[in-house]
Amino acid sequence: MARVKPVIVVIEDDAKMLRLLQNILRDAGYEARGAASGGAGLLAAASRKPDLIILDLGLPDLDGADIIRKLREWWLSRPIIVLSGRDSEDTKVAALELGADDYITKPFGLPELLARVHAALRRTGCCSGGIRIGKFIDAERWQSGAEIPLPAACGACRRHRPRHPALPCHSELLSAARLDASPGGDAS
């Protein structure tokens, strides 16, 4: 029996971030399963046989690199997107060399995450078509320039801003994207 929705397992130990990711993915039309530890994530991956895995590297019980190795032993083609606060180039390269398909550094933009998920699934032939933005980011309000409230769990941006002042916040990213998408907007 064919699946109606692509299945995504999210392995993330931060409970608020895990709920946020699951809600965003569900609202975008995916079946999202969460796991708060590496062991639970491997069990979920083995039992659900997901179409894609989103993996935080900093887990309490297992190192994310070990999880990537184990997942690659099981499946060669299932996409793995690393979503981590570890931002060194060496860490990113190591994760990609171990078998991750993509690497997103926290804090991150929700539209970018959904676009990367969709692109990874499209490459596997799992789905096609556009991204449904849904209740978290209202496309009409976004295009009109209206203020868009983000869930409280998106406070990761605010927490990381003092240490990384050059990183734009979600509102700045949305504003820049709005300018680029508007007629006559500066897309350079």
pLDDT tens digits, 93-118: 999 999 999 999 999 999 999 999 99
For the ranges 74-78, 107-111, 163-167, 174-178, the maximum mean pLDDT occurs at 107-111
- Asked if residue 40 belongs to a domain, the reply is yes
Task: Evaluate if residue 181 carries a pLDDT over 80.
Answer: no
The pLDDT assigned to 17 comes to: 96
The pLDDT assigned to 172 comes to: 52
Answer for the pair 136, 24: CB distance below 8 angstroms, yes or no: yes
Residues 150 and 70 in one domain: no
Interatomic CA distance for residues 84 and 80, integer angstroms:
12
The pLDDT assigned to 127 comes to: 62
Of 74, 97, 123, the residue that ends a domain is: 123
Residues 119 and 145 in one domain: no
Interatomic CA distance for residues 135 and 122, integer angstroms:
23
168: DSSP letter? P
Residues 89 and 158 in one domain: no
pLDDT tens digits, 127-173: 644 444 444 444 444 445 544 444 433 444 444 445 545 444 555 55
Of 76, 96, 123, the residue that ends a domain is: 123
Count of domains observed in the chain: 2
Residues 158 and 89 in one domain: no
The pLDDT assigned to 142 comes to: 45
Residues 15 and 77 in one domain: yes
Interatomic CA distance for residues 26 and 96, integer angstroms:
26
β-sheet with 7-11: strand ranges across: 31-35, 7-11, 52-55, 80-84, 102-105
The pLDDT assigned to 162 comes to: 52
- Asked if residue 132 belongs to a domain, the reply is no
Domain residues for the domain of 91 are: 7-123
- Asked if residue 117 belongs to a domain, the reply is yes
- Asked if residue 166 belongs to a domain, the reply is yes
- Asked if residue 165 belongs to a domain, the reply is yes
Q: Please enumerate in sequence order all residues whose Cβ is within 8 A of that of 132, keeping only pairs 6 or more positions apart, or say none.
A: 27, 28, 29
- Asked if residue 187 belongs to a domain, the reply is no
Q: What is the CATH number of the domain that holds 55?
A: 3.40.50.2300
